[in-house]
Amino acid sequence: MLATGAAGGYGTYSNIKGAYNSGTALGAVAAGEGATAVLALVLLGLTMLGQSSPAVVRAGLWALPAAASAMSAVAAPDGPRTVIYAITPLGMSVSAEGMAFLARRIVVHVDGRDAEAEAKAASVVQALAYHRARAANHPDAKIRKRSDRASWRLARKVGTADTTLGARLLDVQRERITTGADVALGDMFAITATLVTPTRDAVTAAVTPALPPVPEPGAGEGPVTGGCDGEGTQVNDPPTGPEGEGVTPPVTPVTLDEVAAIAGVSTPLIGEPLTDEQIVVVLRFLRYSADPPLSYRQTAAAFRESGFTGGEARIRGAWATLMAQEESPR
């Protein structure tokens, strides 16, 4: 690159010296290639320091050689040599841009950050925020309309050439694909067991102590409709139907509040942000609200229809946690 720049400067000096004296040719080379070399060193130093280069430096890398190119083209004696004289000074611009580009890539590889891309991204985001604010609050309708259109044009540039943003987006997509594959394989190979939702009556019966048996009625006594426990409290027989059959008490399903209380979390509310534990509670409640239990897609659809809030990635993660809890030994 240095050799190319030096050859371009020497060629420009020789071309202009043929039409003017050596002093004029030396001044033209200093103003064109010399100033370009200074700007190239500035650009290279800023890049190695991890800083963005000003726009005037990038513009000067091409404006100064372009001026030298026009000067050489005017000094050419004929048409064919006009093209050659005009192209010669551009060697310095190519050398300077090449050195800066290579230095920039080395800094990005070593430090993991691109100062030039970060500066452009910050400029775009700042302009976008300004235009969105002006489009929403400016008193002039025409200015609001222009800012609204400008903000949409700027939105296309957000994240352009941002390697860090691209890597983070790829990590998010990998996580989503992994979770989706796990859920899909779980739906395909899981063995669905018919589970019965525990009721409040069953829980009450499990924790209530049994009453002692009622003694058989003595001879000659009428039918007994009740008895007394050990403390003398009257205990009535279960109610009977028209034909003497027992009446089955109504089954009371478990509520979401009870499921949340068992899990040790606060009751999930519709329309409010939920924690991961609350999402697991809601999914468990919805999954076992039917017999047989709902699948992932049915449970997720019921989650949305019920009005609860939660991203797709969080729902999939909570479902994986729920499946792991079901498969773990009780």
Handedness of CA 171, 176, 178, 179 (dihedral sign): positive
Q: Looking at the predicted structure, is the pLDDT value of residue 215 above 70?
A: no
Split at pLDDT 50, 70, 90, the class of 25 is confident
Asked if 85 contacts 72 with a C-beta cutoff of 8 angstroms, the reply is yes
pLDDT of 66: 78
How far is residue 163's CA from residue 155's CA, in Å, rounded to a whole number? 17
* Percent of the chain residues topping a pLDDT of 90: 2
How far is residue 33's CA from residue 91's CA, in Å, rounded to a whole number? 9
Q: Quick one: DSSP state of residue 232?
A: S
What is the DSSP annotation of 46-93?
A: HHHTT-PPPHHHHHHHHHHHHHHHHHHHHH-SSHHHHHHHHHTTHHHH
88: nearest Cα among 76, 77, 100, 99? 76
| Contacts (Cβ under 8 Å, ≥6 apart) of 171 | none
Asked if 227 contacts 215 with a C-beta cutoff of 8 angstroms, the reply is yes
How far is residue 330's CA from residue 327's CA, in Å, rounded to a whole number? 9
pLDDT of 329: 60
- What are the pLDDT digits (tens) for 57-100? 878 877 877 777 777 777 777 777 788 777 777 777 777 777 77
Asked if 282 contacts 308 with a C-beta cutoff of 8 angstroms, the reply is yes
Mean pLDDT for 141-163 is: 83
Tell me: cis bond preceding 292? Omega within 30 of 0 counts.
yes
- pTM exceeding 0.85: no
Q: Looking at the predicted structure, is the pLDDT value of residue 298 above 50?
A: yes
Decide: residue 162, CB within 10 A, 0-12 exposed, 13-18 middle, 19+ buried.
Answer: middle
Maximum Cα interatomic distance, the chain, rounded to a whole number of Å:
148
**Cα angle 94-103-168, degrees, rounded to a multiple of 5:** 120
69: nearest Cα among 103, 101, 36, 99? 36
Mean pLDDT for 103-112 is: 77
